[in-house]
Structure 1
């Protein structure tokens, strides 16, 4: 996956919530970093603390955090700081949150890179917490590390067990210390009810992880909840924080609240998300309702709309996906073109002109991905022109099985049009790195091999995607709309041509990989996939040729 598809959220907490000039200066620093988007600024006067939320790629997110820290270093003086929130530094805590296309381990690496650069550049002590921690269980959580706060930090740094992970164990009065690490994405989610505050709170106690005061836990894990009443809306809400939506997704919280409300003869009228949400949280909700009601929905846009409708997310105010889903906010084309690069988003004329130009990229790899995408799309089209028509009602279940893999393959292959060009560009950039010293030679060699591997893996992924289409296409060819027979035939040819084109790109780039065993493994897989593509093309064409009705 390219770095443009990797999204990390950063939520730095700065110890200044009263001076608007300082708050704005930090905001401006974050906004100044290309590839970073500032989503929210939440100052608190009593806490004297401001929480910033911004998103970006693994590389840009670090630069955004460093830019903010540089300004804070100049403008915040911890010797004068007072506030109700526990704190130990000007940049008190800087968590990184995986949002899309990144793992916790990747975010750990990002947090450590940030901590190392912060300590080196500003000369301040930095501690790691959570999954990023390396010093033992006694210093994994924020309360453990922040114990004693700023006032006790000078003495704490003199203790061997509290030596910082980065930077010297030296007290910096104006700054204090910073903690950085990784946490899961938190979804702030409210469920709307026609009920009293007390009734809403009773349900909240049933759901939240800590349960009631009797020590018995509630039904949902990673769930914080209370009930309250909105006078301005004349309704109650169950206010929920979901700290791990992979374990407790929003649709589960909603359904469990509805269950309790029904038992109490109360009405749930909808819900709302506070702030932004990851796309996956809504797709999970849509998939739940699709399976529950045996629906047939393919398009991501339709899945998002289903989730919005079933959860009642637009009851209090319109839920606009391009403004509320993190991935869509960062995509130039919004939801429909998320993850697709400029070649894939452009017109056919632009792509053809680009290929015909006197440049090595876009080249055969991008063309192979384009042709393969068209082939799988044609198969999906024939399935769609069969599904839902009365004369082919008996084929509905078969089409529901055949269409998704063909449709999904087409969507997966669109980003590959740009991935091939990007891989070539990255390889050429690696080859141009300086190698005048031994350390530079080592860095260049590693970069070249990494980039070379990508130039093989990208077309190989195209071949794998094509390979996953043949069974479905054979089914469509055998029973699909006979009026689309030629479309099946063209689609099959396109898929095989795409596989051949990707194969040629694998083979020509193999020579750049130094590891012989790795080269041979790539070659064996490519040859096997190509052999199957050739056999499957013949099979699909034979099926289509024999059909007369």
Structure 2
């Protein structure tokens, strides 16, 4: 899955539709960015945009939005209820998928530097990007708001991290940084607003004051009554769902409500959420209830049901989970073909797809057959005695099969970098050196793909032995074919490593890689024989 970063810039404009729409269009028009939400407030005179992109495109989306704000927003005329000190008041970057907090910090720094230089305005770093603790919290950075900014910029302690240390009346200043994903979450209470607020005070981190802190960290909350639902709610912001996850908040509300003889009637997520937060909830209930669930879609469904996320409105995963909203069909032209089409493509008068793609396909078929037999054994009454072995085996082989399938296409595209190097000019010594370096890097990339196939396949053997030993005996031949297919897939990938290795100049890389691949190939032959021996004894 690609890297996904969420950006939530807040602009000091909530009334002029032309400006609001112009900023939205700037984000929407940035290639690689997906605008998810635009939330404007008349009284706050503020609009919050939510969009996602990767580590490069998200910077461009934020820059495009800032450029519009620089032209169209004049902070000297701005009044609103929400705290603010800049046209683009705050611009946090949030890790969503396959991205670290450190990467988001670097993204925020790059954005601040580029925007400050181009727009000529001051930028402050806050939260995880802050270099000094006293600048970490947004309220501290924004203290005194726009009206105090001119004098504050004269204080050396508040010199901007990027941009001029001078007051720009039309802009003010911007705070940018990196933080965890904030989840807006409400739990429904069949009670009064006072009772819901009482629960919120017990749970939120601030509690009832410094002398009476709440139970849960990184939680802000209160209680209110929603007329349209005819229910009260404990409404919270989960500032870090790794510290206080959704399911923990829900279970604590249930516990507090029970002490007040109140019923909990489900919950709702306001806005969107990362997939991980729901998978965490599912894993909690799977462990708590001793369930056996391995498919992602079923885990999401379990989380939705246990948290009652359909209680006030339908929870549609494709509209609420970030990764599903921005999902694109995988670029797997070979793996997406019909079986006939794939075989015919291999037989065509072209060098790719070839043995590498075929090897990955065979390895995937090998683990898939093991997965099939385990699934056909699991849950059958007469095989209840081996249920633990099957429940352990199924997730491993299921995920390995999913991981091996992309290797079919990855192998075909593995030579792109090498071919790019081959086409480089070679007239001068410098050009020859650059060409050789590019070709060598390309060969290493080409080796890494079949090596990845080998590594994945290698992790299947112990589990395949378990399936051979405890699986449905009627499926004996399926496991036999699976073992031979996996062995052949690993052997084929090994041959692809060998053929590319002969031109590698890096002797250290060659020695280390050959030692690993030879060990995997040797173990593959031994483990295949072991699986077949187990089956022959049945």
The equivalent residue for 2:212 is 216
Distance 2:433 2:165 in 1: 32
Distance 1:123 1:111 in 2: 17
Aligned to 1:336: none
Provide the C-alpha distance between the structure 2 equivalents of 1:221 and 1:269, rounded to a whole number of angstroms.
24
Of residues 112, 123, 126, the one that matches 1:126 is 123
TM-score calculated relative to the size of structure 1: 0.89
SS of alignment partner, residue 322 of structure 1: helix
Q: Which residue of 2 aligns with 1:330?
A: 326
**SS of equivalent residue, structure 2 residue 92:** strand
Contact map agreement 1:431 1:444 (CA 8 A) in 2 = yes
1:112 positional shift: 1.8
How far 1:443 moved relative to its partner? 10
Aligned to 1:115, what secondary structure does the other structure show?
helix
Change (3 A) 1:126 1:344: farther
Quick one: distance in 1 between partners of 2:433 and 2:67?
Answer: 31
Identify which of 378, 400, 405 aligns with 1:414. Answer: 405
Q: 2:519 aligns with which of 510, 516, 528?
A: 528
Q: Match of 1:244, SS?
A: coil
The within-5 A match list for 1:159-178 is 159-178=155-174
Q: How big is the shift at 1:170?
A: 4.3
2:381 paired with 1:385? no
Matched, 1:114 2:105: no
- Deviation per residue, 1:133-157 (Å, 9 max, x gap): 23x2232332232234334434444
Tell me the CA shift for residue 301 of structure 1: 0.8
Residues of 1 paired with 2:45 and 2:380: CA distance?
63
257-266 or 311-320, larger mean C-alpha shift: 257-266
- The equivalent of 1:93 in structure 2 is 90
Report the 3-state secondary structure (helix = DSSP H, G, I; strand = E; otherwise coil) of the residue aligned with 2:15: coil
Pair 1:43 & 2:43 matched:
no
- Residues 471 and 235 of structure 1: is their aligned pair in 2 closer, same or farther, counting only changes over 3 Å? same
The structure-2 alpha-carbon separation of the partners of 1:290 and 1:216, relative to structure 1 and needing over 3 Å to count, comes to same
Provide, for residues 150-201 of structure 1, a one-character-per-residue CA deviation record: whole Å limited to 9, x for no partner: 3443444444443333334344333233221101001111111211111111
* Alpha-carbon distance in structure 1 between the residues aligned to 2:20 and 2:432: 44
Q: Is the 8 A contact 2:487 2:524 kept in 1?
A: yes
Cα distance in 1 for residues equivalent to 2:240 and 2:130: 19
Give ranges in structure 1 of 5+ residues lacking alignment: 334-338
Matched with 1:239 is 235
Structure 2 equivalent of residue 492 of structure 1: 483
The within-5 A match list for 1:106-505 is 106-134=103-131, 136-213=132-209, 215-332=211-328, 341-352=332-343, 355=346, 362-421=353-412, 423-425=414-416, 428=419, 454-505=445-496
The 10-residue stretch of structure 1 (510-519 or 198-207) with the greater mean CA deviation from structure 2 = 510-519
CA distance in 1, matches of 2:112, 2:351: 40
- The equivalent position to 1:33 in structure 2, one of 26, 30, 39, is 30
Residues 115 and 180, structure 1, Cα contact 8 Å, conserved in 2: yes
Deviations 1:101-124 (A, max 9, x none): 111111112212222222233233
Give, in whole Å, the separation in 2 of the partners of 1:108 and 1:443.
Answer: 33
Structure 2 gaps of 5+ residues are none
Q: How many residues align?
A: 538
Partner of 2:530: 539
Say which SS state the counterpart of residue 229 (structure 2) adopts: coil
Aligned mates of 2:227, 2:268 — CA distance in 1: 16
3-state SS of the aligned residue for 1:58?
coil
Give the RMSD, CA atoms, in angstroms. Answer: 3.0
